[in-house]
Homo-oligomer: A and B are copies of this chain.
């Protein structure tokens, strides 16, 4: 390729467009086109099959094996998006999406992300764009107040407190775990890194295990303490204490506890205050992971879920899960940011500046894993202002109400059981063992984990797995599963922005129809 010559195509009439990658008129033309495309997508996303049904490798067969040498018009690319990408998307924006936890979107969140992308600033320290840092501190105090976090977590209430916007909970866990690790090692000596122990329950998100692996915690020192259905899968203070005592007896050093508020499988809510009572005697850093459910705590009636938060070291939730702030937006507050900074700061020559040296400003690079960061706060600022606190509360309540409706419908059908009482907007249900027994006219006994005692098939777990497959294959709704105490449980996580009550009722009818075909109507 004689690449030193200009490509003939850029000498054509299209040349201005091609070599002016930020031409304002072309920016408008393509920008409008995408806005129209997305508006149309939102208007119709409810009609798409929620779960994609493509086969592995489908896209490779449809796209070229190398990048084009010359430019291609946006119109062709958009056609390809419609024809080849859309069929391979699982539609998280669909009103019929009930999987995992939702990916929460809104016009305000989208606009905030657009603005951040458009400004293209890199906000690693204050001087690199003061507005980015200052707006973030302000918005994190706003949101902290809405959650009624103690003042020790706010910039306005504590010299060392404050909040930061990260990407995901994984980052929040890793940053605080590294801070806790180094804080402990500074007392016991760095050579004891192999003795540090971290604690969570068996309901704690796998992100915690991942953070622990990355931070160099010995795999044998990762504790996932058993929880029980009878106590709604919450971590008990007694279990925590006995685990700690055993570790201490074995010469290990307790370091960090991740408590759940709204854990993934069943939205379990650990008793934050009583766990802190145990942790404090061992100098354990306590983090509250409220990734999904934290949002709800802006409603006074749910605030009790984080009672005791005044005793923890750090608290995080994902505004991209249930707070209308498009991916990604993890809100983390800490009481003592100097602990984070000690572990996460570096001070290279090229970033030194008078503002940072004056200690009058925050440099968010020292609160996170990466150096670079976008103008993160715009999105949250737009969401808080565009909707306002009262509407945000009502939006969340509307989802909780819909979950109650769904839970009520499940309870009315005796073939089903609600596996644990519904927390927030997550309903965990399954075809009950007794329904299978009824169907097995020979009266085969069913064990609590859903297996038939004499080995007869299908087991309750298999039956529920089949039901979930049928629901998802239909394309009319998408739910996912959890496995707790050996039971396969279907999760209906309500929270997609476009979901309304009629969608939820339709989803339930779908569940019933497929159950009819599985079990027969009786």
Contacts and interface: CB of A to CB of B under 8 A. Distances in A.
Contacts of A397: 4
A418 interface: no
Contact of A7 (B67, B384, B394): B394
Given A67-B389, A100-B350, 7 more contacts: A7-B388, A31-B38, A41-B119, A103-B121, A110-B117, A168-B371, A207-B370
Nearest to A86: B131
Contact of A107 (B26, B137, B206, B219): B26
A23 interface: yes
A264 interface: yes
B107 A21 contact: yes
A28 interface: yes
A90 B128 contact: yes
A305 interface: no
Contact of A327 (B54, B129, B372): B372
Nearest to A43: B24
Given A206-B346, A370-B170, A135 B59 contact: yes
Interface residues of A, number: 166
A92 interface: yes
A175 B85 CA distance: 28
Interface stretch (A307-315, A402-410, A429-437, A475-483): A475-483
Contacts of A249: none
Contact of A481 (B72, B350, B370, B395): B350
A388 B9 contact: yes
Contacts of A174: 214, 369
Interface string A158-189: 00000000011011001000100100000000
Given A27-B110, A213-B344, A388-B7, A120 B105 contact: yes
A92 B119 contact: yes
* Copies held by the complex: 2
Contacts of A181: 216
A349 interface: yes
Contacts of A59: 130-131, 134-135, 138
A252 interface: no
Given A42-B27, A213-B178, A299-B3, A56 B206 contact: no
Given A327-B372, A481-B350, A130 B52 contact: yes
Interface string A107-136: 110110111011111100011111110110
A69 interface: yes
Interface string A5-46: 011011000000011011111111011101110111111000
Contact of A215 (B67, B118, B127, B214): B214
Given A56-B126, A327-B120, A39 B67 contact: no
